Chains A and B, each alone.
Chain A
């Protein structure tokens, strides 16, 4: 039983990270109908920016704040203006392809310009180990889980409880009507990109201690987060978290009780099962086609 709990708890901590990255997918989808396949690299880049600031002598918190600013500027504003806006009128496919290209550019840019090696990254919550009834929990794991949960619910609350959040949803549902209602559509879409960049930066702070800062750390993370987003429901923020947690826990259980060799296939299998029986995802709503 303690073994099961151990697996469950470490799975939840990993899953929360997937959920956080998945939230970026759902957020961009809801606000602008964009799928960003560079989501994993959006997490990798702030990690290196933080490392850069720390190398200059900044403490972790300051590095994070500065990296958040850089993220909003580069991964929010520049990404929207440079990639999404010019391609938007050609439909979804060119954007998807462009983000795949962007992912390759970002990871290879870091590899060529900085280093291909992995770098250690400090854990903001420390490495204290607690032993509760035979189950070991680290402060890092608990901190990651709680922060990720808080961020997901804060985003959800922002989207549903604030005027700006509702305006963003209105833009997502029908941009033309939103314009008629006096909503600044481009600004709302920019907010979605900026929030996505901030979430990615937060995810970087949480995942890098475990993943280690490495140019290709985004690859696996992006894929798992994409599966998590679809499993939970692509148009639901809480769905992203649920999907992430399901993938994280299921992976761990499968690795322990079936075989570690199949661990990476678990997310794909759940994804296929969910797509077959509930194409809109577990918490997703059916989307009506716009006529």
Chain B
């Protein structure tokens, strides 16, 4: 009799423990952070990851989303699209609610087939125009795509230069930007007089810069990854280039400024996000306190991305992936209602984002905002 009672007690304990675990499991929102922690995208991926983790920490400290805490897991794609695809599949298998990353365009292009198949909202940092042109209803940007940022940039270049040299890195990101700018310059007051490709990981930019000088262009547009941007800036300075060096986001990133030193001074770029702009300064201070360095735009992308997910879940009112993805179509989240998104942000039906952006110039090793550009939708 006693034996049977003990058994019953044990069974009851096991059952209640199982129920408790199940209940606990239901109370968290699992997200996967699939980013470039090594390889060419290490700087971008690390910032993005830290931004996501900061937002998760804050949201969890204030009660989570609709009462549930967020549980985030980070994976390293090694900047390799194949690895990114595998990891996305793994995250889908682990039944995450949403996926953040990859940041590199080449990687998200490959990996988003997995999140689409599983109907998991996927927030990417990639900027290649083609990402949202594939009609994937589950992919959302955390920053401008080239189709939004480049028209803004083109307007600026038109006002600055009659002839332009284009230097780009020969990968999905670089080619996307190169194609966008060349197309926008057709029929505009600015003519592209040199079109120069460079390699990912290129060390010596002397031949590249020489080609730019030979083209005699009024300005040069540089669209390469962080380290290569720094090397290019140094070479431009070395070879005595004094005309405008214009870029998009990366060119004036904090890491580039750190690596290029004085050579970065004078570089101008259109940035969708910078911690030096008024709406994001408070975030910048929090980030620096947490990680002891200045966040680049990718940190803001990761951070606001999580808050956008929170806003969308709250709008949908339930933890349903399809409903949340729907809630992100043709919508505007205001910073007033959702402080975590930092700036009023709109999504169109393709997952493309629109908001204010900034022109910055590097002065004395710091980004200085020289102009605020309105959302493209407002013209």
Contact = CB atoms under 8 A, between A and B. Distances in A.
Contact of A256 (B207, B261, B262): B207
Contact of A255 (B42, B201, B207, B214): B207
A116 B42 contact: yes
Contacts of B226: 118
Given A116-B39, A117-B255, A136-B238, A6 B261 contact: no
A259 B38 CA distance: 29
A214 interface: yes
A131 B239 CA distance: 9
B218 to A, nearest CB: 20
Given A117-B42, A129-B237, A212-B227, A260 B261 contact: no
Interface string B22-43: 0000000000000001110011
Nearest to B255: A117
B204 A261 contact: no
Interface string B220-249: 000000110011000001111000000000
B371 interface: no
Given A212-B227, A255-B208, A116 B37 contact: yes
B207 A129 contact: no
Interface stretch (B57-65, B191-199, B265-273): B191-199
Interface string A257-268: 001110110000
Contacts of B239: 6, 136
**Max count, chain A CB within 10 A of own CB: residue among B197, B204, B259:** B204
A103 to B, nearest CB: 16
Contact of B198 (A11, A127, A138, A260): A260
B208 to A, nearest CB: 6
Contact of A211 (B203, B207, B211): B203
A260 B199 contact: yes
B320 interface: no
A205 B196 CA distance: 31
A228 to B, nearest CB: 15
Provide the main secondary structure of the chain B interface. Answer: helix
A120 B34 CA distance: 27
A251 interface: yes
Interface string A89-131: 0000000000000000000000100011111100000010101
B208 A129 contact: no
Contacts of A211: 203
Contacts of B261: 120, 127
Contact of A261 (B42, B199, B240): B199
A118 B227 contact: yes
A119 B227 CA distance: 9
Interface in B199-216: 199, 201-204, 206-208, 210-211, 214
A117 to B, nearest CB: 5
A261 B170 contact: yes
Contacts of A6: 206, 210, 239
Interface string A121-149: 00000010101000010100000000000
B46 interface: yes
Contacts of A118: 43, 226-227, 230, 255, 259
Interface string B251-267: 00001001101100000
B240 A136 contact: yes
Contacts, number: 84
A182 to B, nearest CB: 47
A269 to B, nearest CB: 16
A127 B198 CA distance: 24
A120 B258 contact: yes
A214 B259 CA distance: 12
Contact of B196 (A131, A212, A260): A260
Interface in B264-306: none
A131 B241 CA distance: 12
A7 B206 contact: yes
A220 interface: yes
B231 A220 contact: no
A14 B214 contact: no
A3 interface: yes
Contacts of B38: 111, 116, 215
A252 interface: yes
Interface of A: 3, 6-7, 10-11, 14, 111, 115-120, 127, 129, 131, 136, 138, 210-212, 214-215, 220, 251-253, 255-256, 259-261, 263-264
26 contacts: A3-B214, A6-B210, A6-B239, A7-B206, A116-B37, A116-B39, A116-B46, A117-B46, A118-B230, A118-B255, A127-B238, A127-B262, A129-B237, A129-B240, A210-B203, A212-B227, A212-B231, A252-B204, A252-B206, A253-B207, A255-B207, A260-B198, A260-B199, A260-B208, A263-B199, A263-B202
Given A3-B214, A120-B261, A260-B197, 9 more contacts: A115-B42, A116-B46, A117-B255, A118-B230, A118-B255, A129-B240, A215-B38, A260-B198, A260-B199
The 9 closest A-B pairs by CB, nearest first: A255-B207, A10-B206, A256-B207, A116-B38, A116-B42, A118-B227, A120-B259, A117-B42, A136-B239
